[in-house]
Amino acid sequence: MTYVIVGAGPAGVAAAETLAKTAKGSEIILVGGEPEPPYSRMAIPYVLTGSVGEDGTYLRKTENWYEDRNIRYIHGRAESLSTGDSALRLARGEEMKFEKLLISTGARPIKPPVPGLDLEGVHHCWTLEDVRNIKGLTGEGKDVILIGAGFIGSIILEALLESGSNLTVVEAEDRMVPRMMNQVAGNMIKAWCEKKGVTVLTSTRVAGVAQADGGRLEVDLGGNKKTVDLVVVAAGVKPNADFLEGSGIEVEDGILVDNHLKTSADNVYAAGDCAKGPDYSGGWSVHAIQPTAVEHGRIAALNMAGQVTPYKGSLQMNVLDTAGLISTSVGLFDGVEGGEEAEDLNEQRFKYIRLTFKGDYMIGALTLGRTDQVGVLRGLIHTPVSLGPWKQKLMADPAKFVEAYIDRTQVI
Amino acid sequence: MQKSLLMIPSKCTGCSQCELACSYAKEEAFNAAKSRIKIFDFPEKSRHVPYTCTQCAEAWCMKACPVDAISEDKKTGAKIVSAELCVGCKVCTIACPFGTINYQQDTGKVVKCDLCGGDPECVKICPTEAILYVNADATGDARMREWAAKSDEASDVTPN
Ligand SMILES: Cc1cc2nc3c(=O)[nH]c(=O)nc-3n(C[C@H](O)[C@H](O)[C@H](O)COP(=O)(O)OP(=O)(O)OC[C@H]3O[C@@H](n4cnc5c(N)ncnc54)[C@H](O)[C@@H]3O)c2cc1C
Ligand code: SF4
């Protein structure tokens, strides 16, 4: 059997390793679209701060890791796919035949329709190449504007701040991390970042960017203007699925898959940031996070290898560190109609916890200012653990979620 | 054969010696907040429960880590964090459904139980044998299902 995996991020690598274990003796070809060894996008901020070198982002650190598993890693960018004759065409004209194909090409950042975003000095922070480009433009005395304070934007914010830059972050919506935090938590994160010296402009749009003297850029914030050394754009992404045009494979905001991660074509699967997979909280979503990419890769590979494995769905879960304030967000933190919620808030101490429930189960959670045992929130929601008498106890004291988990999962 | 820690809550008196032994062994400080093993109290049941990593074979933390910073100690089966490779992204802390790998803000790294290389300090210090070092083979997936099943049983048996 010949398996081709296109896209060598965490989803592609997890799939290749799973195939190497479950489909022994098969040909496994991992196609990566970037020149480096397979690396992790999410480790890029730590290259920016200098806490690791580029090799610190590599997904596997052991020498000959791929060769030793009979995984052939090649460089190349997919340009088109013909499902009819099971062939993937690469940029340099090479055609690859496959019996089963996994698409794990991830996503790429988009530029909002703002004039001047093509100027030199405007960058994303998405690839190792991006980091090389922006590193010299950050640091003590450098002025930086970050467009977008979503999850990815806020992670980049942390790195830019740590690098010592004077930082302004501009967010079109009315709070920071709007899709990961509610109003209460979003506002607290904003207040915290402001205390740490970041200028946070919410409900603000960048009207345009123009060239200024000395290679600097003038950013129009809707009247108010600011001159900076660097503009970083983190204002949303789209799936790397352009090469599927004409293939018949259905794509919306991600490649459509069934609950075995198979696309609309019989021998083609999709995983990770490019896939709109089953959402544990209901429906289908692009959960553009590392744990989902790895789970997708593993489950898709098992199904490709003929081990029929339905996926129970990924759970949206994020941990964020904004200038030392740590927040987590899991599942349906807004709650659902007919559900219940419990909160404990201490604004002065930047502590907050919110749990949401439906019937006997927890379905979502937010925490601010807590690092200990946050994984239990996932355990409670994703297992799922029936709460029984603990539901009422958690309604009264939501911080007791670890006790709830222990008491409901162990005989004590 | 892989071994792991087994807790027997009915024997635990909540004396916290395991937490202190652990924090001293790992951080050279008697500070329960830095221990890899934690005691949770259930006053209504008059129970104290020692709680730490089960070294599950499925190792959610290890699979989720984006930079290969968690590996398996071939000798003990423990999942070990390399402080050198860990970038402090915290993905493992939310991926582990047991909440037993935690971020430390002062070091910027995560910590978890590493079974002390096969000679766990908590086991040695516990005066009541509430923590044992025994054979283990349940995978994380199986264990999670097993625990979930137990919780259903528990709702019939222990209406506290
Ligand atoms: C700055 C930053 C911080 C992040 N922080 C976190 C975090 O804290 N927690 C978290 O859970 N997630 C985080 N993420 C998200 C996480 O990195 C992604 O969810 C994850 O990388 C998705 O993995 P993937 O394998 O699906 O895609 P990717 O990692 O994007 O890999 C896709 C691969 O496919 C290649 N490719 C694309 N098109 C083609 C083509 N046509 N032909 C061949 N190859 C192609 C790409 O070059 C790339 O190597 C962060 C992301 C960024 C950018
Ligand atoms: S915090 Fe460290 S060990 Fe945990 S996933 Fe991130 S890099 Fe890996």
Query: Whole-model pTM?
Result: 0.95
Centroid of ligand 1 to alpha carbon of A270 (angstroms): 14
Residue A6 pairs in a beta bridge with A31, A103
Confirm whether B94 is domain-assigned. yes
CA torsion, ordered A136, A138, A140, A144, to nearest 10 deg: 140
Region A32-54: what's the mean pLDDT? 96
Does the CB atom of residue A290 touch ligand 1 within 6 A?
yes
Of A43, A382, A409, the CB nearest to B89: A43
Does the CB atom of residue A273 touch ligand 1 within 6 A?
yes
Q: Flag whether residue B46 sits within 8 Å of chain A, measured between CB atoms.
A: no
Does the CB atom of residue A32 touch ligand 1 within 6 A?
yes
Structure tokens at A344: 């404990």
Does the CB atom of residue B88 touch ligand 2 within 6 A?
yes
Range of the domain at B29: 1-52+117-138
Report the distance separating Cα A90 and Cα A63, nearest Å: 27
In total, the C-beta contacts within 8 angstroms joining chain A to chain B are: 160
CB–CB of B82/B112 below 8 Å? no
On whether both B8 and B31 belong to a single domain, the answer is yes
Structure tokens at B159: 């209406």
On whether both B108 and B86 belong to a single domain, the answer is yes
DSSP letters along A40-68, please? -GGGHHHHHTTSS-GGGGBS--STTHHHH
Domain edge (last residue) among B73, B94, B112:
B112
On whether both B126 and B107 belong to a single domain, the answer is no
On whether both B69 and B22 belong to a single domain, the answer is no
Q: Which residue's alpha carbon is at the smallest distance from atom 15 of ligand 1? A: A289
- Encode pLDDT of A344-400 as tens digits: 999 999 999 999 999 999 999 999 999 999 999 999 999 999 999 999 999 999 999
Residue with tokens 């210090």: B125
B146, pLDDT greater than 80: no
pLDDT band at B155, cuts 50/70/90?
A: very low
- With b for 16 or more beta-carbon neighbours within 10 A and e for fewer, the A40-58 pattern comes to bbbbbbbbbbeebeeebbb
On whether both B62 and B85 belong to a single domain, the answer is yes
Q: In sequence order, which ranges of chain B are alpha helices (DSSP H)?
A: 17-27, 60-64, 91-95, 121-125, 140-157
- Contacts with B61 (C-beta within 8 Å, 6 or more apart), sequence order: B70, B79, B92, B93, B95, B96, B101, B112
Does the CB atom of residue B94 touch ligand 2 within 6 A?
no
Residue B2 confidence (pLDDT): 72
CB–CB of B86/B66 below 8 Å? no
Domains, chain A, with CATH or none:
2-108+237-304 (3.50.50.60), 122-233 (3.50.50.60), 324-411 (3.30.390.30)
**What's the complex ipTM?**
0.95
Does the CB atom of residue A125 touch ligand 1 within 6 A?
yes
On whether both B48 and B60 belong to a single domain, the answer is no
Confirm whether B148 is domain-assigned. no
Q: Which helix (H) or strand (E) holds B103?
A: strand B101-104
Averaged pLDDT score across all residues of chain A: 97
Of A40, A376, A386, the CB nearest to B152: A386
Interface of B with A in 111-150 (CB under 8 A): 144-145, 147-148, 150
- Encode pLDDT of B90-138 as tens digits: 999 999 999 999 999 999 999 999 999 999 999 999 999 999 998 765 4
Confirm whether B155 is domain-assigned. no
Q: Which of A4, A30, A41 to mutate to test the pocket of ligand 1 (most atoms within 8 A of CB)?
A: A41
Torsions phi, psi for A128 (to 5 deg): -60, -35
Residue B1 confidence (pLDDT): 63
**A interface mutation test: which of B5, B61, B89, B92 has the most A CBs within 10 A?**
B89
Of A10, A62, A402, the CB nearest to B40: A402
Torsions phi, psi for A111 (to 5 deg): -105, 130
What is the total count of domains within chain B? 2
Q: Which residue's alpha carbon is at the smallest distance from atom 52 of ligand 1? A: A42
Confirm whether B159 is domain-assigned. no
Question: Shortest CA distance to B109 belongs to which of B131, B127, B135, B90?
Answer: B90
Residue B56 confidence (pLDDT): 86
Confirm whether B156 is domain-assigned. no
Structure tokens at A320: 């964020």
Q: Which helix (H) or strand (E) holds A379?
A: helix A375-382
Give, in order, the Cα–Cα distances in Å from A409 to each of A217, A398, B144, B153, B155.
57, 18, 8, 9, 10
Question: Shortest CA distance to B96 belongs to which of A374, A312, A295, A318?
Answer: A374
Question: Shortest CA distance to A160 belongs to which of A170, A150, A169, A172?
Answer: A169
Confirm whether B29 is domain-assigned. yes
Q: Which of A104, A105, A110 to mutate to test the pocket of ligand 1 (most atoms within 8 A of CB)?
A: A105
DSSP structure class, residue A39 = B
DSSP letters along A163-187, please? TT-EEEEE-SSSSSSTTTS-HHHHH
- Encode pLDDT of A244-290 as tens digits: 999 999 999 999 999 999 999 999 999 999 999 999 999 999 999 99
Strands A208-211 vs A217-220: parallel, antiparallel or unpaired: antiparallel
On whether both B122 and B97 belong to a single domain, the answer is no
Residue A261 burial by CB count (10 A; 0-12/13-18/19+): exposed, middle or buried? buried
Look at B93 and A375 and tell me if their CB atoms are within 8 Å: yes
Q: What's B74's domain CATH number?
A: 3.30.70.20
DSSP structure class, residue A279 = B
On whether both B64 and B105 belong to a single domain, the answer is yes
Centroid of ligand 2 to alpha carbon of B34 (angstroms): 18
Residue B57 confidence (pLDDT): 80
Structure tokens at A283: 């429906």
* Nearest atom of ligand 1 to the alpha carbon of A271: 26
Confirm whether B144 is domain-assigned. no
Look at B99 and A379 and tell me if their CB atoms are within 8 Å: yes
Confirm whether B151 is domain-assigned. no
Region A152-165: what's the mean pLDDT? 95
Does the CB atom of residue B65 touch ligand 2 within 6 A?
yes
Question: Shortest CA distance to A244 belongs to which of A228, A257, A259, A231?
Answer: A257
